[in-house]
A and B are shown apart, each in its own frame.
Chain A
Amino acid sequence: MSTSTEEVKYKANDFKSEAEPRWCPGCEDYAILKAVQTAMAKIGRPKNEHAVVSGIGCSSRFPYYMSTYGFHTIHGRPLPVATGLKVSNPELAVWVVTGDGDGISIGGNHLIHALRRNCDLNILLFNNRIYGLTKGQYSPTSTKGMVNKTAPYGTIEDPVDPVGLAVESGATFIAQTSASYVKELVDVLVEAYNHKGTSFVHIYQNCYIYNNGAFDGFTDREIRDDNNIKVEHGKPLVFGKELNKGLTMGYGKFDIVEFEAGNVPDSVLVYDETDPILVRMISDMKFPEHPVPMGIIKRVQAPTFEESVHSQIQTAKEKFKPDLKKLIGSGETWEVK
């Protein structure tokens, strides 16, 4: 934590490194980079107090473009590296940048365990539904039937739903947004940072080269308001360009009701980010039957992993005074004269 009480002002550019990003022109990774730098400026901690850990993929080149500490690790493994770092240096703000291949395919096992462990990490999953760096193979989030290099006849696998996976894994903070919603993304990143525990931020990110337009169906400026729903704690679940649609409790799923703008019926549910049933139902929504939820889907408080690790160490220290000489000389000993 920054100890100075007076306000320190940072600009997004303070978190930018001298290295020139090497993503393809038009890649939405640029937008996320800018959003993270903007969020860090808002958070107000100096760059030495942030560390960005990534795996392998286009997205994982991220740390090179930051002026903070960074570790570009190996494919699929940024989460345990970041966990070790956070346990070692709990005062750091630790960010993890991973892709749909990195985080859900090769690193899928670590994702489940990181989410349930609740180490105070901010996980940013860049989901472009494709393997970018290796030039366009399908990923575990590619839509069924998608044609690409390794599926010339279309993929035959059902995709993973990252938010559903996070819910099942017991994540304490889950948010979903898009790289094209810059302002929302910055807000979500600041909230992810503020959350003590693992924050899982699922970001739809357009790969201009290998999967262009993958999210147009719900993120395109013209139609997004009718196809997204902004979920916000304490606010009614309404959406639509005219804010004339809402979600009500149906049989095991939400029903959509339409109403006159401004006259939200009582049957429209007020969102509660701590309510496991609402969280589950929001994450269960399937597009296009339902709108795509954007915003903070879940936020609950729980002890963090690193706090628990260190509090056990503290308790042990209080209980048994650490005395190595005594320990080594313990048990039955005998003298040889």
Chain B
Amino acid sequence: MSVEKQINEVDTITVKFAGDSGDGIQLTGDQFGNTTAIAGNDFATFPDFPSEIRAPLGTTYGVSSYQIQFAAKDIYTPGDTPEVLVCFNPAALKVNLGIVNKGGLIIVNEDEFTDKNLKKAGFETNPLDPDDDTLRDYRVHKIKITTLTLESLSEMEMGHGDKLRCKNFLALGVVSWLFSRPLEPIENFLKSKFGKKPQILEANMKVLHAGFNICDTMEIFPIMYKVPPAKLEPGTYRNINGALATSYGLLAAAEKIKLPIVFSGYPITPASEILHTLAALKQFNVAAIQTEDEIAAVTMALGAAYGGSLGITGSSGPGLALKVEAINLAVMTELPLIIFDFMRSGISTGMPTKTEQGDLLMSLFGRPSDSHLIVLAPSSAQDCFWISVEAVRLATKYMTPVIVLSEGFLINSSEPWKIPNLDDIPEMESGFRTDPNGFLPYKRNKETLARDWVRIGTPGLEHTIGGLEKTNETGQITQDPENHDLMTRLRYEKTQKVANDIPELEIMGDKDADLLLVGWGSTLGSMRASMEAVASQGKKVAMINIRHLNPLPKNLGDILRSFKKVAVIELNLGHLNMLIRSKFLIDTAFLGRVTGQPIAVTEMIDFINKELETIKEH
């Protein structure tokens, strides 16, 4: 018999699922994210997993987690600290205990709190014991997730292991009830995923409903939560992560410029995601090729760009390091090669599944000689779509390589996305030259300084390019001193010209503020959340997020100089900070963190408040 439950309506809430990597945490999170989307909330997610595929069971370093913040208003981050933590084992509790808000709700799978597992997780005592103090500050709900799963499947003829694998859907049933969510979206997912395996479908459905129903009947929770829908701009929405957005953006750009894509890559976390996605979308004229190494990946893409296709490659730090020489060949031959770097925590192998913004200076300056190219950085999961389109537009218009500095965090995190109308994206021109009259391989367009792109095979335009320096316009190889000076300057000027062709920066927040926060990439979300939090206390702060890192937007200097104080925030020890100080000769304050995680909003707020204090003192 179900009792009338008290419903607690809240504005925003952060939930985290944590357990062994084999517990299906990411799937659970994704499904919960989907129901959140359909409930009309704004949301942001943060999947976080170990680099081991199946780390030993029950260990703290094997804990995989998925955090989601959802709200009845605009939000920008997956939340600093969860109000609700769902733990599948003691190790998950151990790792996350420190970060749950005091007074927060902790749901644990009681079955897993055995002596052996407690010991593996490093608990001296069982935190679930009534007289144990560990969880005194929290509201703890013990649910025998494993036992209940097995019980609800007792009638079914299937293996014990298969039954156990359903237990994350029991947890999903529980949280669905807790947040007043309908089960349909999860049911639809199960039907599409296991349509051909009726037994597994039935089992998961049973378990899902069992989870939901026990909450109803057993009064596990005294209250339910309800987060009303957010007031998003009208339109059709879907849930998008950075990996899909990046790939879809490339497909959209290819359609607009009417060129096939050759995407070549060598597997590396977290960049492989793009290769996986594109390999399954060949129908959009995509040749997705797994090469023998990153050097082959970048040179194959370059060969395709030379031929007249969109040559694209993607990697992470270690791979980018291998690609440097070939990128310089693209700079020298002035070909539209596109290189994605999904930055991860370095140096060397570092922390492959964790995020960082450590490759900015390398992308700008990490090539021999005076080598300049375009550098872009998406600021959110959905912005990955637009940055892909921008990369194709600029690379082909200016005949230059483009590095897109994306981030591991952006690839995996998801948010609601108002599906864009593809008709609104302007058509692009490949501009292939076909006229042999007056053709010279290094003759430049007056406005862009780009040389002509020739589809290899075109009659009458035969020519040879390469890494050797060549004479301006004719392209004949030469070691003439003045010519080399001229060509070096022309190549540089060409990238600088791009500044006339990119949007100016828009200041967010209070333009009359004394303090300007400057960031790039994924810090957009947490910086915005921090800025708004500080503003809500009546203080004035402004911020910018730079998506075009080379060349920089034309109004950046004016913006920087119009504030009393500039503070740079990034996930490194000061790359953009160094650039801004040296380029604009201004003093800056700096907050940089390299924890492999996004910077917590609370940490940023403290930093902003401190900076505001120092301005006041002056």
Contact = CB atoms under 8 A, between A and B. Distances in A.
Interface of A: 17, 19, 46-49, 51-53, 56, 63-64, 66-74, 77, 79-89, 91-92, 109-110, 112-113, 309-310, 312-313, 316-317, 319-322, 324-325, 327-337
Interface residues on B, range: 35 or more
Contacts of B339: none
A58 to B, nearest CB: 14
A313 to B, nearest CB: 5
B201 interface: no
A63 B234 CA distance: 58
Given A84-B262, A84-B303, A313 B38 contact: no
A243 to B, nearest CB: 44
Interface stretch (B12-20, B463-471, B487-495, B514-522): B463-471
A110 B297 CA distance: 11
B304 A87 contact: yes
Interface string B291-314: 111011101111111111101000
Contacts of B238: 328-334
B476 to A, nearest CB: 7
Contact of A84 (B40, B233, B292, B302): B302
Interface in B256-305: 260, 262, 264, 281-287, 289, 291-293, 295-297, 299-305
Contacts, number: 205
B595 to A, nearest CB: 32
Given A69-B456, A73-B299, A84-B264, A332 B422 contact: no
Contacts of B34: 332
B293 A109 contact: yes
Contact of A48 (B302, B325, B460, B476): B460
B456 A51 contact: yes
Given A87-B287, A88-B287, A109-B293, 11 more contacts: A46-B459, A48-B457, A48-B458, A80-B303, A87-B300, A88-B307, A89-B457, A113-B291, A328-B422, A329-B419, A332-B38
Contacts of A84: 262, 264, 299-307, 311
Interface string B566-610: 000000000000000000000000000000000000000000000
B296 A80 contact: yes
B329 interface: yes
Interface of B: 34, 37-38, 40, 185, 188, 229, 232-239, 248, 251-252, 255, 260, 262, 264, 281-287, 289, 291-293, 295-297, 299-309, 311, 325-326, 329, 333, 418-420, 422, 455-468, 476-477
A88 B308 contact: yes
Nearest to B293: A109
A312 B304 CA distance: 18
5 contacts: A74-B329, A83-B300, A84-B303, A309-B287, A336-B229
Nearest to A78: B299
Nearest to B417: A328
B308 A71 contact: no
B498 to A, nearest CB: 25
Contacts of A309: 287, 289
B464 A63 contact: yes
Contact of B461 (A48, A56, A327, A333): A48
B466 A71 contact: yes
A313 B286 contact: yes
Contact of A332 (B37, B459, B477): B37
A274 B577 CA distance: 64
| Central interface residue in A56, A89, A335, by most chain B CB within 10 Å | A89
B455 A73 contact: no
Contact of B465 (A71, A87, A313, A329): A71
Contact of B285 (A46, A56, A109, A313): A313
A225 to B, nearest CB: 39
Contacts of B284: 322, 324, 327
Contact of A313 (B283, B329, B419): B283
Given A324-B255, A327-B248, A53 B289 contact: no
A204 B287 CA distance: 36
A73 B457 contact: no
Contacts of A331: 238-239
| Central interface residue in A85, A330, A337, by most chain B CB within 10 Å | A85
Contacts of B462: 47-48, 67-69
A306 to B, nearest CB: 9
B477 A321 contact: no
B456 A312 contact: no
B32 to A, nearest CB: 13
A257 to B, nearest CB: 43
Given A113-B292, A312-B282, A72 B461 contact: no
| Central interface residue in A49, A72, A330, by most chain B CB within 10 Å | A72
A46 to B, nearest CB: 7
Contacts of B237: 333-336
Nearest to A54: B466
